[in-house]
């Protein structure tokens, strides 16, 4: 007995359909693997351009935060333990590439600049420049201060900076 063989156009069509299904399935698997790999990287941030300056009437803490991960975050906090909790602060957010003001709480002051909470959605690859202004003398010029950042997505970074005169 002879095996069922398709001849002509039907045979070629069947082969092309099987190849198409195999390629399509491979594409789906590859897409899922890529998506899984990106999700596994998770949240990550980079803190740069940190400067702490103390003037006669106020101190300014500046830093640039970049979302280097694959996950957006809706807020972050900046902690500087060397700042007294009795002081107050305001902050400005700018886009570092355009230098446009994004948000500001100034001139209104909030208590306790030791931990500054900022509600702002930062998507992957985006950067934000933060300037925290604290009235009064809060730093000793020449001293070192540890600045730590924690995002709502769980990413964190820490950097040490020297306090310079304004």
**Mean pLDDT across the stretch 61-73?**
95
In angstroms, what CA-CA distances link 98 with 13, 23, 102, 105, 157? 56, 44, 10, 20, 24
pLDDT(65) > 80: yes
Pairing of strands 45-54, 156-165: parallel
pTM here? Answer: 0.73
**Mean pLDDT across the stretch 67-74?**
94
Predicted pLDDT of residue 42? 80
Query: Which of the listed ranges 12-16, 32-36, 147-151 does the model predict with the highest average pLDDT?
Result: 147-151
Cβ neighbour number for residue 147 with a 10 Å cutoff: 23
Q: Which residue has the higher pLDDT, 159 or 18?
A: 159
**Mean pLDDT across the stretch 17-44?**
53
In whole angstroms, what is the distance from residue 92 CA to residue 110 CA? 13
User: pLDDT (tens digit, 9 = 90+) per residue, 131-146?
Assistant: 999 999 999 999 999 9
Burial of 88 (0-12, 13-18, 19+ CB in 10 A): middle
**Mean pLDDT across the stretch 42-57?**
93
């Amino acid at each position: 007995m002879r095996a069922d063989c398709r001849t002509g156009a039907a045979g070629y069509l069947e082969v092309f359909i099987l190849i198409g299904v195999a390629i399509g399935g491979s594409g789906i698997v590859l897409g899922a693997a890529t998506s899984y790999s990106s999700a596994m990287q998770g949240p990550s941030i980079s803190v740069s351009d940190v400067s702490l300056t103390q003037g006669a009437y106020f101190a300014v803490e500046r830093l640039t935060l970049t979302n280097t991960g694959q996950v957006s975050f809706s807020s972050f906090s900046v902690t500087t333990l060397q700042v007294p909790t009795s002081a107050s602060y305001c902050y400005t957010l700018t886009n570092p590439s355009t230098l446009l003001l994004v948000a500001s709480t100034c001139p209104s002051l909030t208590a306790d600049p030791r931990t500054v909470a900022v509600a702002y959605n930062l998507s992957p690859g985006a950067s934000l420049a933060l300037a925290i202004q604290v009235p009064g003398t809060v730093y000793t010029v020449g001293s070192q201060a540890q600045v730590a950042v924690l995002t709502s997505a769980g990413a964190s970074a820490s950097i040490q900076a020297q306090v310079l005169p304004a």
